[in-house]
Structure 1
């Protein structure tokens, strides 16, 4: 083989290695805080619970090297749109921008479970968040309870003692001679909310007296509003979580998280 051909071969090999790496970057070192768990042991609940808690705590500022996901706490979503009509209490169109949620790093996993069936792994978690705070810009049009509204401002909210079940379905996939988990579905089901406090600014063009009265009405009837909005909020939450978890699990090799994978 000529020297030119050898150099060409070496350069070509390096090029395709870089291309392959660029196509699917991954976390190259196993984190110290991660202890791989068994997904086929129904008695392995404590390990799975600790795994998820550690992920939220240690990666609250983002997964090292993973772009396009950002921090888990605060958890940011660029924009959300909600349209809901449930007479007589609600008929609104709401646009939320720069939604920032604080408190996810303090998540406690009260219980967990796993199931393997037909090539898929399913994991379930009972999650508790003692306090969640949210802040965003809003635009709202429609009627809420007895109020007709057409306003834009800042929304602040606090949620006390939120508990929900999170189910996640995953399937192993091979990428670059490594196994990753492809998250195919996520479903949440809220089981408990102790209190929701809401404050919206600029509801009536700066009239503080009317604004305070409206926010008092919202807070006195928060459970009515929550029950009405719950289906669309849950669907939105599932979509956002599926996007984030899909990106994380296709970046972190399965062997770092679970036993029995290469």
Structure 2
């Protein structure tokens, strides 16, 4: 499978990177004093980090103008391009001008850090997540061709909330619904010295999605042919396990690339010991 994510809006910040609370343009190179920090030798480091990351994420939800951080509610992405090969062969799945709603309800369930190996792992849960914008799709699902373009709305329903979606135009929109989605993140880094200070730079960012149900609805497929469009939607929903298993790889790789790029911009600004306090240092 192949996957590409490109030209991402700088406002895309991921909640599981602790120093995402710091602006790319900040000259202090330190976390704000109001943000919780954890000692490297804390016997309960993982519990401390889970609370600290949740606290930081909540505080920056509506943006931090003084730090140059834009709102995460919604979070903005300019461009995502997905390709896949296999039973679901997508020549192009292109999303543009994307707004992601629903991160405010995200809860961090677990956090695990191996600081000596520069590895961070976390698990999260979000009640409802929607992604709206413009899309173009062309490819083949099993033996059936699929094509369409226009406005889009992707909604992930993770609890018992009712599903609703609307488009501001008469063009098509796309709805993607995932039931009870848990997401695992693994950040694999390495030590890098910069200005005589230790930084953690990510080599890899692995994302894993685990839904219990996925449903699909594309409108205006095949240039608005309702009969063909309805048939394709039914076919995708009847075979949602195949659809998800084929597409999750490219999506996970694409989002992992996004998160690694953004994370490294921040990790390169903030020294490792300002994120994880040394035993000899006092908390602010």
Q: TM-score w.r.t. structure 2 length?
A: 0.70
Counterpart for residue 81 of structure 2: 81
SS of 1:217's partner is: helix
Question: In the TM superposition, what whole-angstrom CA distance separates every residue of 1:9-61 from its partner, at most 9, and x where no partner exists?
Answer: xxxxxxxxxxxxxx974346743542111334463221111122223222224
Q: Which has the higher helix share?
A: 1
Counterpart for residue 185 of structure 1: 204
Q: Tell me which of the two structures has the higher relative contact order, counting C-alpha pairs closer than 8 angstroms and 6 or more residues apart.
A: 2
Could you tell me how far 1:248 is from its partner in structure 2? 2.9
Q: Where in structure 2 are the equivalents of 1:29-108 lying within 5 Å?
A: 30-31=31-32, 33-41=34-42, 43-62=44-63, 64=65, 70-87=70-87, 89-108=88-107
Distance in 2 (CA, whole Å) between partners of 1:64 and 1:178 is 27
- Give the total of aligned pairs: 235
Distance in 1 (CA, whole Å) between partners of 2:202 and 2:216 is 33
| Residue ranges of structure 2 left out of the alignment (5+ in a row) | 1-23, 159-179
Distance in 2 (CA, whole Å) between partners of 1:126 and 1:211 is 36
**Distance change (3 Å), C-alpha of 1:29 and 1:164:** closer
CA RMSD of aligned residues (A): 3.0
Asked if 2 retains the 8 angstrom alpha-carbon contact of 1:128 and 1:162, the reply is yes
Aligned equivalent of 1:124, options 121, 132, 135 = 121
SS of 1:204's partner is: helix
Q: TM-score w.r.t. structure 1 length?
A: 0.75
| Residue ranges of structure 1 left out of the alignment (5+ in a row) | 1-22
Could you tell me how far 1:130 is from its partner in structure 2? 2.4
Could you tell me how far 1:121 is from its partner in structure 2? 2.1
Distance in 2 (CA, whole Å) between partners of 1:113 and 1:210 is 48
SS of 1:241's partner is: helix
**Distance change (3 Å), C-alpha of 1:211 and 1:24:** closer
Counterpart for residue 231 of structure 1: 249
SS of 2:113's partner is: strand
Aligned equivalent of 1:203, options 221, 234, 254 = 221
